[in-house]
Structures are given as structure tokens and as C-alpha cells.
Amino acid sequence: MTELKSIASPAIQMEDRAHEADHPSSLVAKFGTEQPLKLDCGVDLAPFQIAYQTYGELNADRSNAILICHALTGDQHVFNTHPITGKPGWWDTMVGPGLPLDTSQYFIICSNVIGGCMGSTGPASTNPATGKPWGLDFPIITIPDMVRAQAMLIDRLGITTLLSVVGGSMGGMQVLQWTAAYPDRVFSALPIACATRHSAQNIAFHELGRQAIMADPDWHGGRYVDHGSHPHRGLAVARMAGHITYLSDAALHRKFGRRMQDRDLPTFSFDADFQVESYLRYQGSSFVERFDANSYLYLTRAMDYFDIAADHGDVLAKAFKGIKTRFCVVSFTSDWLFPTSESRALVHALNASSARVSFAEIETDRGHDAFLLDVPEFFDIARGFLQSAGRARGLKSGG
Amino acid sequence: MTELKSIASPAIQMEDRAHEADHPSSLVAKFGTEQPLKLDCGVDLAPFQIAYQTYGELNADRSNAILICHALTGDQHVFNTHPITGKPGWWDTMVGPGLPLDTSQYFIICSNVIGGCMGSTGPASTNPATGKPWGLDFPIITIPDMVRAQAMLIDRLGITTLLSVVGGSMGGMQVLQWTAAYPDRVFSALPIACATRHSAQNIAFHELGRQAIMADPDWHGGRYVDHGSHPHRGLAVARMAGHITYLSDAALHRKFGRRMQDRDLPTFSFDADFQVESYLRYQGSSFVERFDANSYLYLTRAMDYFDIAADHGDVLAKAFKGIKTRFCVVSFTSDWLFPTSESRALVHALNASSARVSFAEIETDRGHDAFLLDVPEFFDIARGFLQSAGRARGLKSGG
């Protein structure tokens, strides 16, 4: 069956990925045993490292730093060629000279999350106790753990208060966690297409992806590197499930409808007759080249566990009590993974906390993925919000 | 990892399933080489058989017969104990004495679809040319092929015109195909929670399920019976994907929310911490005991290909031109697999064809699955519609 080949690319960069996990093509902040990362599960993780990229220059009074938090399958390579795929940075529409996250004006930082696979310590990293990849011996991490690690990086960089923390989807969760955990260190916050907790439907989609990975015999209980394998088929299926949730029904209809792939009539076979099938197969097979299957398990789990209100007696407003951070909450009308109602609930809680908040519900049919796409209204809002925050903090426009 | 066991039940009834495919615990209509089933793909399928169940009595003038068309994972066991699972019939809330599909009044027929695995000829049946299961040598079938086979069964039963054809989801597609292909043989039609074509998003979900099955090494290119295996892990993942689409976000939230399974605090592991995870794992593992993986491939493909308008110059109304059948179209407000807008488009086309049509858009948060659940408003509408059709056809109330 040719179908199997379509999601089982032979070009998996296993060695490249393994190398990146320990020796990233990035800046690296290393933390020794005297500076453990205190995880929510009770484990002190040490030593550990954080891989990160920066763009632009930190100004003299260290007031122009913006932290970007990446999404589930993102990484620190926001605005440079990706070291494994060779593709452009994942947010080069938003970050760059003259763009809303203006690298000629701001000092932009993005770090790979703890649990990731691009150089921050995670299940693909070498466990110093064994000399082999951590695999499932890596402790379960949470969104607060990711943010705690980022705060240690920001300390290391000598920055007390960030001009802004910005991110979409899982990145938006981190933005919110930053404001809840370190309100005095976040001058402004731009959470995009996210929620303060993961819904049952979102947990269900993640569980589907995890089961697809763990059902792949090449997963070997997470010890696939020892077996010279990678559960690329299960991971590709997990990615396909994710991709369906990132697009709206309308976007899928507009992009593909029921159009056939290079043919006019059905083949009466299990070939990818429809364009949407080819698209999903491609998304699955290209993803497995760059991403680690165990990382996918850990990061989806972290998102599932996320629930800010739960740590505050189930009253969301308490999480933001007395906060001075300026918020701009952005949602997209056709996002069904993080529906705009979730953002509205967040805005209500912020209002109840007397926080400064603006809310932009952007009309688009492009679904959750809109935060990664060229959506001019969104760009204008982000630009204006950051410029306004910069002015309030005494930044001169233009750097 | 205990997780794997949860979707890899050891109690798979492989022999029971194989036996049912050829020798069903049902009535069987056999068609020899002189009566081939003419398939859309160009193949003449012969010999073939249709497994079916009947409930109630056919009246003297053969005017009280109702055909139920089952959904993707349904079968002919509507109102009797299932021969493999031992569970009650799948629609025993709707079918039975005094129920809307009243077995004391109507003669109810339900046949396993062509391509299914419960006794009608499909990929799990023995290919007479090889003495082994058809597997992927079975020709691709379509919704019109299923209906063509059902019409041959109805001929065999000596019934010219059905009082009604009733079905939800893939069953609803068959109902619509019946009215388009055999308008004079369908006195009334009750298509529920369906559409006249499969959307790009629906094709995407099906493709995800197929890739999960085909990625399972136990699938063996569809020849798993020869290997004494069954791709139960891939099929379970496919089923999990299906189940997410059958429930609404609201229904998942009401049923499970973020509630934990038999615990108060997270385990910080990949165990099924959340109830929704346990539920999905159970749905996956119980499904593989009764269903054939290749059948799942064929039936999802048939749904993907379905597009009534495409056969009528892309003008849906033409499919129903001059039709005398009485329609009652039913949709559920929270069904996002077959949104109510699809039913409304169907109703508009029927109106444009001057067909007799009533439309019930039922307010419920239970999602697509509502057609299988205890929804009193839906039952009342079905009961009233069928009674009215019976009166119009001269049936005495009560039999």
C-alpha cells in the first residue's frame, strides 16, 4: 500500500534531532545542581538547560525585552532558519524589522519550553544518570514549570521586568501563567487564541494523539532511541488530529472543499483522492522529521493539566487580584479549539480583578491557526498594543 | 505501560467475527451469479449476500414495511441482543411495541450494509475465488451501492413500496439516496442528522481514522486474518476520533468536564487522570471486539464519496425533481459532524423541488449522538410523522 509510505517518510532526521536535544543550534543557558528547577510534580530537576534565541538589542535600562512563548509544536526559532527543516522561522510574519514585534525596537527572546525537543531539557535530552535519553523517566511537567524555567532564564539575562509576554495557544497559556505567577515582572501581556484551562474536548483530542503514539510498536514504551526507531506513524496520526482542530470547518471547505487531488473522478481506492487527504498526509509526514514523539506526550499532558482557576479556589478572578499588567486578549471567531467564549471568560475575570484589559475578537474563518497567519487586523492590534506599552514604559519609538 | 493494554483488549472475538461475516446470526438473502450487484466502481459483485433482521408482521397488502438504514458502526441488530457483544439492540429506544417505530404496527427491516462485517458481503467475507477473506481485494463500494443492494433485498421480500425509509448519519445518507434513486418506492423518508454530501472536515476525520488503521503493523496491508492478527490498536484510535466527533463540546463538558477518574489530584503520569480519557479508551477497546478494521476503511470511504448533487450537475434540487415522497428532515442544534445548516440546505432543495417536507431542528446539547439517545421531542416527531404517513397510505392505526 502506497498510503503507508505517505506518513512514514524515510527521511527522518533521527540523528539531527538527537543532537539538537543536547547541543542545540541556539544560545543555551545551563543551570547546575545548585539551581534546580522545582517542578509541580515534586521533583527538583537538575542539572537542566534552556535553549533560546534572541533578536534585536537589549537597551541600556533593560526595559525593551519581550518574551515570546511558543505553542505545542513550535520552538525558539521564531525568526531564523530552522536548523532541522531549513524552513523560515515560524513567526516571521510577526517578528522582524518594522513588523509588530519589531526587532529594531525590542529585544525579543524565545526559549524552547522545558519538555521540548529543541535543546531545552526534555524527554529527548540525555539523562545524566544513565547517559541515555530520559524517555518516560523524565518527570511530568506543567505550564507553570515551563514558566518557572523561563523566569530563571530571564533572571540569567539580567532582566527584571519584561515589557511584554506574548504567545498563542499553549504559548498563550504561558503568558497567562506569567501574569498569575509573576505579575510584577510582566508590564504587558498579549495572550492569543488560548484559555485559562483545557476543555474536555481538548483533552480528548490530546488523548487521541497520545494513544496513537503509544499504540505504535516503534514507541517501545518511550525507549525508541535504544531500539533505533521512532514512532513516526503514531506521531503522524497525532499531528493529523491536531491539524484538523487547528483549522475551521469553513477554512477546510475554502481550502479544499471536496476537490480531488490531480484527478477529476474518484479512483475507487484508498489513495488520497481528495486534496484534504493529501494535505493531512503531508502535515503528518513532515512533522515527524522535526519533532520528538515523547515530547509530544509531555507537552500535551502539560496543556491538559493547565487550569489557572483551580489553584485559586476555582475563582479565576482571584488569580489576577491587584495585577497592574496591561492585557490585550486576542481571539478568533472561527477558532473552535480555543473558542472566543474562553477568551471572553478571561476578560470578565480580568475586569472583575480591575485589571487593565482590552479584548480583540477578530472576525476570520481561518480557525485557531489564524494566529500564525497573515491577518492584518491582528497585526495592527498587536503593533498598537506593544507601542502603547512601550510608550507607557518610557521607550522612545524607533528604539 | 498500562495505557497500551487499555486499548488493546485481549478479549477480541476474532473467530466470532469471522464466523458472523459469512454465517450471520440473522436472516440471509443470497444472490447468485445471475443476479450480480452492479457497483459504481464498475465491478459486478456476484455472488453476494445480505444479512438482515425483521421485526413485526408484514400486512396483507404489504404496505406497512419500514426500512431502517444503519450508521457507520451500526448493523442489522436494531432490536435484539447483539450476537457478539451480548448487548441490547442499538435502537431499542426507538423500535419496539408502542415505540415510534412500533413493531406491533409496522414491519421493520434492517439489513447490514454491503461492505459491513455482520453478514452482508464485505471485506471480512470469504472471497469465493480464494477461500480467504476479501480484504482489500474487495471492490470499493458507495452509498448508492448499499442502497442498490437493499432494493434487491426489498424485491426479494416482495415489497414494492416502503412505507418509510429511516436512518441517521450514514443511515440518513442511504435514506436520501433511496429517495433520489427510487422515488416511487419510498412513500415517506426520515433522514436524521445527515447531509447530502460529506464535508472536507468529515473527510479529514475519516482519513485520520484510516491512517491510524493502516499505520498499525498488525494491519498487514489488509491481510491480517492470514497473519492471525487484527489492527485493534489502530482501529481503537480511529474509533476514539469518531467518538469525539459524535459528542458536542457541551456534552463532553457536561459528561466529564475536567473531572478526575477515581482520584482528586493529578497523578503526574500518562494514566487516564481525566474521566474523558477513560471514556475514550473504553470506547476504543470495546469497539474492536465487534468491528472489522477493513470494513471501517470501506464504509468511511463510501461516506466520503457521497455527494448527491454531483450526480445531478451540482444542483441538489434536480436530484429530487417531481418526487412525491413525504419527507421529515431532522437535525440537532449541537451536531457539528452534520451541522443543522446541512439539513437546512437539503430542505431548501426539497422545497425548490416542490417536495412535501417538514423540518425539525431539535434543540439539544448532545451532539450528533442525539439520534441514538433518549430525546423525547425527537421520538414524538418520528412517531407523529410515521403515523401520518401510515394514515395517508390507508394503514389502520394499531396494525
Residue B4 has pLDDT above 70, yes or no: no
For the CA atoms of chain B, what is the radius of gyration? 21
Res. A17 pLDDT band, cuts 50 70 90: confident
Q: What pLDDT sits at residue B256?
A: 93
B234 shares contact with chain A (CB less than 8 Å):
yes
Residue B17 has pLDDT above 90, yes or no: no
Contacts of A237 in chain B (CB under 8 A): 208, 211-212, 215, 237
Is-cis flag, bond preceding A123, omega within 30? Answer: no
Residue B292 has pLDDT above 90, yes or no: yes
Res. A18 pLDDT band, cuts 50 70 90: confident
pLDDT (average), residues A292-316: 96
Residue B399 has pLDDT above 50, yes or no: no
Angle between helices A232-246 and A275-290 (to 10 degrees): 120
A269 shares contact with chain B (CB less than 8 Å):
yes
Q: What pLDDT sits at residue A396?
A: 78
A237 shares contact with chain B (CB less than 8 Å):
yes
**Which residue has 522545582 as its cell numbers?**
A38
Cβ atoms of residues A94 and A55 within 8 Å:
no
Helical residues (DSSP H) of A11-76, grouped into ranges = 14-22
Residue B146 has pLDDT above 60, yes or no: yes
Q: What pLDDT sits at residue B397?
A: 60
**Which residue has 496513537 as its cell numbers?**
A212
Count of alpha carbons within 13 angstroms of residue A18, beta-carbon side: 17
B341 shares contact with chain A (CB less than 8 Å):
no
A216 shares contact with chain B (CB less than 8 Å):
yes
Q: Which three cell numbers stand for residue A88?
A: 523560515
Q: What pLDDT sits at residue B261?
A: 87
pLDDT (average), residues A346-375: 96
Q: What pLDDT sits at residue B232?
A: 95
Nearest by CB to A244, from B205, B221, B222: name it: B205
CA angle (B262, B268, B273) in 5-degree steps: 30
Instruction: Tell which of A201, A273, A307, A337 to mutate to test the B interface (max B CBs under 10 Å).
Output: A201
Q: pLDDT tens for residues A163-215?
A: 999 999 999 999 999 999 999 999 999 999 999 999 999 999 999 999 999 99
Residue B3 has pLDDT above 50, yes or no: no
Q: Strands B48-55 and B27-31: what pairing?
A: antiparallel
Residue A7 has pLDDT above 80, yes or no: no
pLDDT (average), residues A81-107: 96
Residue A399 has pLDDT above 70, yes or no: no
Q: What pLDDT sits at residue A1?
A: 31
Q: What pLDDT sits at residue B361?
A: 97
Count of alpha carbons within 13 angstroms of residue B204, beta-carbon side: 31
Closest CA to B168 of B379, B391, B387: B379
pLDDT (average), residues B101-116: 98
Res. B8 pLDDT band, cuts 50 70 90: very low
Closest chain A C-alpha to B272 CA, distance in angstroms: 9
Q: What pLDDT sits at residue B9?
A: 42
Q: What pLDDT sits at residue A147?
A: 98
**How far is it, in rounded angstroms, from Cα A278 to Cα B299?**
20
pLDDT (average), residues B126-136: 96
Instruction: Tell which of B235, B237, B341 to mutate to test the A interface (max A CBs under 10 Å).
Output: B237
Closest chain A C-alpha to B391 CA, distance in angstroms: 41
Q: What pLDDT sits at residue B285?
A: 92
Q: What pLDDT sits at residue B13?
A: 67
B257 shares contact with chain A (CB less than 8 Å):
yes
Residue A369 has pLDDT above 70, yes or no: yes
The mean of the pLDDT values for chain A is: 94
Q: Tell me, rounded to whole angstroms, the distance of Cα B343 from its chain centroid.
A: 17
Q: Which of B273, B292, B304, B335 is catalytic?
A: B335
Q: What pLDDT sits at residue A13?
A: 67
Find all residues with CB under 8 Å of A376, minimum gap 6, and list them: none
A316 shares contact with chain B (CB less than 8 Å):
no
Residue B335: strand, helix, or coil: coil
Q: pLDDT tens for residues B337-371?
A: 999 999 999 999 999 999 999 999 999 999 999 99
Fold of the domain built from segment(s) A2-392? Rossmann fold (3.40.50)
Closest CA to A74 of A208, A179, A210, A166: A166
**Which residue has 507553570 as its cell numbers?**
A144
Cβ atoms of residues B316 and B349 within 8 Å:
yes
- The least confident of A9-18, A61-70, A218-227, A244-253 is A9-18
**How far is it, in rounded angstroms, from Cα A379 to Cα B140?**
48
**How far is it, in rounded angstroms, from Cα B252 to Cα A208?**
15
CA distances B28 to A69, B73, B111, Å, are 61, 20, 9
Cβ atoms of residues B178 and B171 within 8 Å:
no
B345 shares contact with chain A (CB less than 8 Å):
no
Q: Strands A44-45 and A37-38: what pairing?
A: antiparallel
Q: Which three cell numbers stand for residue A159?
A: 532582566
The mean of the pLDDT values for chain B is: 94
Residue B2 has pLDDT above 50, yes or no: no
Res. A137 pLDDT band, cuts 50 70 90: very high
**How far is it, in rounded angstroms, from Cα B303 to Cα A266?**
13
Q: What pLDDT sits at residue A397?
A: 60
Kindly state the DSSP code that residue A163 receives in the 8-state scheme.
S
Q: What pLDDT sits at residue B299?
A: 98
Q: Which three cell numbers stand for residue B152?
A: 434487491
Burial of residue A315, with CB atoms counted within 10 A of its CB: 0-12 exposed, 13-18 middle, 19 or more buried:
exposed
Chain B's closest residue to A197, CA to CA, is B258
Contacts of B241 in chain A (CB under 8 A): 208, 241
Closest CA to B141 of B300, B302, B307, B296: B302
Kindly list the catalytic residues of A.
169, 335, 368
* B286 catalytic per annotation: no
Residue B10 has pLDDT above 80, yes or no: no
pLDDT (average), residues A260-264: 85
Residue A8 has pLDDT above 80, yes or no: no
Nearest by CB to A201, from B200, B214, B244: name it: B244
Res. B263 pLDDT band, cuts 50 70 90: confident
CA distances B331 to A336, B133, B160, B346, Å, are 21, 38, 29, 11
Contact A4 B274 (CB under 8 A): no
**Which residue has 509544536 as its cell numbers?**
A73
Please give the helix or strand (H or E) that residue B253 lies within, else none. helix B249-255
Find all residues with CB under 8 Å of A173, minimum gap 6, and list them: A143, A167, A191, A194, A195, A196, A303, A306
Q: Tell me, rounded to whole angstroms, the distance of Cα A389 from its chain centroid.
A: 23
Q: Which three cell numbers stand for residue A166?
A: 506574548
Amino acid at A29: A
CA distances B224 to A214, A228, A234, A237, B228, Å, are 21, 26, 19, 21, 6
Q: What are the b/e assignments for B116-152, b being 16+ CB within 10 Å?
A: bbbbbbbbbbbeeeeeebbbbebbbbbbbbbbbbbbb
